[in-house]
Amino acid sequence: MLNIPNLLTYGRILAVPLLVGCFFIDGDDGHWYALSIFIVASITDFLDGFLARRMELQTSLGRMLDPIADKLLVAAALLMLAAIGTIAGYALFAAVIILSREILVSGLREFLAELRVSVPVSRLAKWKTAVQMVAICFLLAGPAGDKIFPYITLIGLIGIWMAAILTLYTGFDYFKTGIHHLMDERS
C-alpha cells in the first residue's frame, strides 16, 4: 500500500482539493498555482505507472486508484474552468463529452472486470489523454497566460475539442468491446 507508485497516486488525489483551492485566489497567481499543481499531478500520472511496471510494484489497489485519481483531477479542472468561464458556451459540450466518456468507460471497465475481461488502454487513448492534459494546462493558464501570449486560451479550447473528438472515438472502441462481451454473456 505504501510503495512509491501508490504514494504518487495518493499525492494526485490530494492535489485535487489544492487545485480547486487555487481558483479562489484572486488575480493571476491562482491560475499559475493551479497550472503548477496540474502539471506536477500529470507527471505523477506517468511516473506511477512507469515505476510500478519498472519496479514490479503493480498492486490491485494501484490499478483501482490510478484511473480514479486521473478522473478526479481532470473532472475538478474542467468543472472549475467552467465555473470561472474559461470553458463556456459551445466549449462546454467538449468538457461534457470528456466527463461523460470517463464515467461511461469506468462503468464499462467495472462490468467487464466482473466478467474477468481486461480492456487494455489503446495507444490512441494514451494520445487522447496527452492532448487532454496539454489542453487543460493551456486553459488553466487562461487569462494569465493570455497576457504573455494572447492565444493561450484559444489554443486550450482548440485542444479540448481535439481531446473531445478523440474521446468519442476511443470511447466508441471501449463501448464496442463491452457490447461484444455483453452479447456473449446473454448467449
Euclidean distance between CA atoms 57 and 36, whole angstroms = 28
Q: What is the pLDDT of residue 185?
A: 66
Complete domains list, the chain, with CATH: 4-186 (1.20.120.1760)
Q: Cβ distance 141 to 31 under 8 Å?
A: yes
Average pLDDT rounded to a whole number, residues 99-103: 92
pLDDT at residue 138 greater than cutoff 80: yes
- The rounded distance, in Å, linking the Cα atoms of 28 and 183 is 52
The DSSP letter of residue 59 is -
As a three-state string, the secondary structure of 87-111 is CCCCHHHHHHHHHHHHHHHHHHHHH
What pLDDT shows up at residue 186?
64
Could you report the per-residue pLDDT of 15-30, keeping only the tens digit for each?
999 999 999 999 999 9
Q: What is this structure's pTM?
A: 0.92
